[in-house]
Amino acid sequence: MLSWEFLLSREFSSDPYAAYAKLREQGPVHRIDFPPGAEAFLVVDHEHGRAALNDPRLSKDTAHSSLPVSGELFFGGTMLGVDPPDHTRLRGLVAKAFTARRVEALRPRVRELADGLLDAIAPRGEADLIADFAVPLPVQVICELLGVPAADRDDFRAWTSVLTAPVLDREAAGRRRETARAFNGYLREVFADRRAEPRDDLITALLRARDGDAALTETELLNTIALLIIAGHDTTVNLIGNGALALLRSPAQLELLRGDPSLLPGAVEELLRYDGPLERASQRVALEDLEIAGTPVPRGSWVHVSLAAADRDPAAFPDPDTLDVTRPTARHVAFGHGLHFCLGAPLARLEGQVALGALLARLPSPALAVPPEDLRWHRDGSIVRGLESLPVRF
């Protein structure tokens, strides 16, 4: 059985791809001891991982597990933690508000925000691209998208920092609960304000979203905004951080991209494939006895799909361990696949394109300020893959 302790080790987090390659050679599906006491499996190839992501026999609702786990840690109550028809209704309503047009309209403002952060960084000649750039940018973008007033943004950032921090002990869990209460109280006041005076922002659009007589309840509104912040923030931070590191370690690709910014959209897709912001997809539970790649998966078992392993599978991507910003990567699964494909993907792509484009344009001759082996990756047991810091000189 594959040990969860190994998957949390510094050895693994520094280079999971070598370990996943060895696992893939042994087979596409492996038993795993997470969550403790449950029957659980990890899928590590592209073919079966992609199929599992869209298999209706695999539920997102952990209540179907033989060992249910707190929904607080697994997106219970949001569209990430439910199945159709609830998922269909929730996703449809949110999609009416969170449109591609609304996201694309943010592009000039995202560039303005990125440039503002870089104005503070550029004269110094050195920076931590995580703390100084990748972390604050998504928070500012979310504030713009939701319509958070400028006077409230310091409080909003403080709440966000707690809500997106890993919950590793009871003290952290208590802080998150207290913060969630304060945050939800604030949002309820904002809902009342937007009902009285609608604005051109996402909160107003979510309040107005209708499918016939159906609308989002206040609890669903709160859960949806929490999901946008918690799931959307970390993924964008890590898309920017992991992408910047990959380019710093591939100078020829960095210069190719700097010389031809029109390659940015495709380059972001390749960076998502090469070292994406999510190591695994969120949990799934077998609704019936089934098989994945010939491996029996009993009803109630947990199934984890390694997105990182699937996107380095040589059966799907030739020379997968090489970064190639001109590679066609339409089949990567960094945003999932099928019914639960990430609704926030357009925003993440936009932020990745603008952020990395701004870094290339504004920071001359960037280089790592520490040896690559000194970089540290988060090891909090969550599904994300991201750096603790990224010191650079330029």
Q: 100: domain CATH number?
A: 1.10.630.10
Buried b (16+ CB within 10 A) or exposed e, 134-167: bbbbbbbbbbbbbbbeeeeeeebbebbebbbeeb
Residue-level pLDDT at 168: 60
Residue-level pLDDT at 74: 46
- Joined together, the tokens standing for residue 351 give 């932020």
Residue-level pLDDT at 136: 93
* Extended beta strands in 106-156, E state: 126-128
Contact 302, 283 (CB under 8 A): yes
How many domains would you assign to the chain? 1
- Long-range CB pairs of 185-188 (<8 Å, 24+ gap) are 186/152, 186/155, 186/156, 186/159, 187/221, 187/222, 187/225, 188/218, 188/222
- Joined together, the tokens standing for residue 115 give 């440039």
Contacts of 232 (CB under 8 A, 6+ apart): 138, 142, 344, 347, 348
Residue-level pLDDT at 366: 95
Contacts of 19 (CB under 8 A, 6+ apart): 6, 12
- Joined together, the tokens standing for residue 204 give 């107003």
Distance, in Å, from the CA atom of 59 to the CA atom of 79, rounded to the nearest integer, reads 12
Q: Per residue of the chain (394 residues), what is the pLDDT tens digit? A: 888 788 778 888 888 999 999 999 999 999 998 888 889 999 999 999 999 999 999 999 888 887 765 444 445 567 888 899 999 999 999 999 989 899 999 999 999 999 999 999 999 999 999 999 999 999 899 989 999 888 888 888 788 778 766 666 678 778 888 988 998 999 999 999 999 999 999 999 999 999 888 899 999 999 888 888 877 788 999 999 999 999 999 999 999 999 999 999 999 999 999 999 999 998 899 999 999 999 999 999 999 999 999 999 999 999 999 999 999 877 999 999 999 999 999 999 999 999 999 999 999 999 999 999 999 998 766 788 999 999 999 9
> What type of residue sits at position 160?
T
Residue 255: count other Cβ atoms within 10 Å of its Cβ: 12
Residue span of the structural domain in which 308 resides: 4-393
> What type of residue sits at position 87?
H
Distance, in Å, from the CA atom of 78 to the CA atom of 121, rounded to the nearest integer, reads 37
